[in-house]
Structure 1
Amino acid sequence: MAAVIFRNDPAFEDAILDRASVAFGVFDGVHEGHRFIIGEAVNTAREEEVPSAVITFDIDPDEIFAADRLKKLMTNETRIAKLAELDVDAVVVLPFSREFAAQSPEGFLNACFGSAVPSHIHIGSDFHFGRKAAGNVESLRAWGAKRGMTVHGHELVAEGGVPVTATRIRGLLSEGKAREAASLLGRPYTLAGTVRPGRGEGRDFGFATANLEVPPLLLAIGEGVYACYAVVEGERYRAAVNVGIPATFADTANQNIEVHILDFDKDIYGQAIEVEFVEWLRAMRAFDSADELIATVQANIAWVRENL
């Protein structure tokens, strides 16, 4: 596990980055393309026998500049923790703000690195920084050349002839394509939340649910019913999951994730659970009768039991 070092911690020392080989980016999702760039930074570090590091921000810049349309793939805390699981010596977390971003590209880089400049920096070819995102790979090369830093601008990893990006993964998830998104993430798309009391209809119908309220910013997955795994106290259980407000109960519903965990009847109110999305089963819809609702849900549960 890599050391996580926050730049705004009084104990931070610029020297951690001096002559190191680093990968720089936001890395929301820590997906296949991100891991390639970080892996290249590690390879360079090993070849030159220098430390390796990931440089990232404490928040996603789009939380400031595109908050109305952003759907994050994970929380900032989870993103940083996932980066720390990779084979690097350190994860350096820079505080991001509107003022920080408004600096000139050169001022931005000076603020990032101080007097300690890496020997190598690995970035994606779409890397931009500074005021109005005016900085790019070429301007970073010019800045680095004066300081003995080699800049490696990598073409984005592609799958199916299309670059692997967080935006592409968000698009797949919004369409319910959980399996396709997982292939680009390198793992199932996962949501976490705390179990809250729900409406109670599920228990009345014979399939109790654990109800999660997830902030819209973190709800990248599209509405529908999914085959999933639920992780409760470290144990994985098969689950059928509704995402979105059930149309039949639209007047009284507020939970946006309802998790029916198969073969499970513990009281987990107030506990945090994780949901791993595996397969889209059907769209959300209103039912003409309780019997039709029950039969459909039972069929979804049977599919999960037989296929997961």
Structure 2
Amino acid sequence: MAKVYKVDETFDHTLFIGASCAFGVFDGVHRGHRFLIDQAKRTAAESGGKSIALTFDIDPDERFHADRLKKLMTNEQRVKALADTGVDCVVVLPFTPAFSAQSPMAFMDATFGGCAPYAMHVGTDFRFGAKAAGTVSELHEWGDSRGTRICSHDLESFDGRPITATRIRLLLGDCKVAAAIELLGHPYTFEGVVQQGRGQGNDMGFATANLQLPAMMQVLGEAVYAAYVTVDGVRYKSAMSVGVAPTFADATATCEAHILDFDGKIYGDTIKVEPVEFLRPMIKFDSVDELIATVKGNIEWVRENL
């Protein structure tokens, strides 16, 4: 795993000298992001410098549009995933109000602290500086004046359309998990703390682990899914529902996972959920017996097919 540097008053900007950087937010660290990172590794090998994934400590939209932001990864998951891509190091910039309010050229100078890298790789839609006013054209001007090779790349495509975090989020919102995973290039996962639930599942013979996710992490569409759940490093099959349980009048939006062949007490524990297959939409059943029969059928499908 690559070393992670958080930029503060002790950070040594000479790390950038001779380096090749892939610069972006990288939510999801999807196939398009990995292409950029691979390009940085390629030019680093040419120059003999370090390959660096350069990112922010938060998604900039958390500062400007937190009320409508949806994310594929927490900031901690994103930085860890970047560290696992094979780069030499990850550099994490603090996206403070003062930093984000700088003009595009001042923004870049502050980023590198007078130690411009050998090369920098970005997507052609890359924007930077106050109000995202800086364009790739201006980035080339900055690079030309400081001896940095700016490499802007068209977005990686799949089925004739660019791979973007927005496209993946929309697929997940439409319950198209398999298609989203194809674009991510790795499993889609999220984590949550197990909370006390309504208790109906236990009464009906299929206890569930109940998670409440922050609004910005509620990306997956309301439905029932086949999934894996990891508890204390052990991966179990699971039948999982996301959203409102319409059969119960007092239901609230939640994620409930029935973990097959598991009966431990995990209230307060953090578990990882990996949805892999859409099973059915959320349904309002005419009776509790119909609900039980359907859920048991979902559980059996998971047992036989995952």
User: Is this a same-fold pair by TM over 0.5?
Assistant: yes
SS at match of 1:249: coil
Q: How many residues align?
A: 306
SS at match of 2:79: helix
Q: Matched residues in 2 for 1:66 and 1:18: separation?
A: 34
Q: TM-score, normalised by structure 2?
A: 0.98
SS at match of 1:248: coil
Q: How much does 1:66 deviate?
A: 2.0
Number of the residue aligned with 1:69 = 68
Q: Matched residues in 2 for 1:99 and 1:231: separation?
A: 40
Q: Matched residues in 1 for 2:96 and 2:290: separation?
A: 51
Q: How much does 1:255 deviate?
A: 5.6
SS at match of 2:192: strand
Number of the residue aligned with 1:103 = 102
Provide Cα deviations, 1:272-298, integer angstroms capped at 9, x if missing partner.
110101011111121111101101101
Q: Matched residues in 2 for 1:97 and 1:248: separation?
A: 45
| Preserved contact between residue 5 and residue 92 of structure 1 (Cα < 8 Å) | yes
Q: How much does 1:134 deviate?
A: 1.5
Q: Matched residues in 2 for 1:266 and 1:68: separation?
A: 36
Q: How does 1:260-271 map to 2 (within 5 A)?
A: 260-271=258-269
SS at match of 1:68: helix
2:35 aligned with 1:36: yes
Number of the residue aligned with 2:302 = 304
Q: How much does 1:250 deviate?
A: 3.9
Number of the residue aligned with 1:259 = 257
Provide Cα deviations, 1:171-200, integer angstroms capped at 9, x if missing partner.
000000011000111122111011111111
What are the ranges of 5 or more consecutive residues in structure 2 without an aligned counterpart?
none
| Preserved contact between residue 239 and residue 260 of structure 1 (Cα < 8 Å) | yes
Q: TM-score, normalised by structure 1?
A: 0.97
| Preserved contact between residue 230 and residue 275 of structure 1 (Cα < 8 Å) | yes
RMSD of equivalent CA atoms: 1.0
| Preserved contact between residue 30 and residue 185 of structure 1 (Cα < 8 Å) | yes
Q: How much does 1:70 deviate?
A: 1.2
Q: How does 1:20-169 map to 2 (within 5 A)?
A: 20-169=19-168
Q: Matched residues in 2 for 1:171 and 1:30: separation?
A: 16
Question: Structure 1 146/77 Cα, relative in aligned 2: closer, same or farther at 3 Å?
Answer: same
| Preserved contact between residue 198 and residue 255 of structure 1 (Cα < 8 Å) | no
Percentage identity across paired residues of the two chains: 56
Q: Matched residues in 1 for 2:97 and 2:245: separation?
A: 38
Number of the residue aligned with 1:245 = 244
Q: How does 1:140-289 map to 2 (within 5 A)?
A: 140-251=139-250, 253-254=251-252, 256-289=254-287
2:3 aligned with 1:3: yes
Q: Matched residues in 1 for 2:155 and 2:171: separation?
A: 18
| Preserved contact between residue 22 and residue 55 of structure 1 (Cα < 8 Å) | yes
| Preserved contact between residue 179 and residue 188 of structure 1 (Cα < 8 Å) | no
| Preserved contact between residue 245 and residue 252 of structure 2 (Cα < 8 Å) | no
Q: Matched residues in 1 for 2:50 and 2:249: separation?
A: 54
User: What residue identity is the alignment partner of 2:166?
Assistant: T
SS at match of 2:146: coil
Provide Cα deviations, 1:112-155, integer angstroms capped at 9, x if missing partner.
11111101000011100112211111100101101110000000
Q: How much does 1:98 deviate?
A: 3.1
Greater shift, 166-175 or 296-305, is seen at 296-305
Q: How much does 1:75 deviate?
A: 0.4
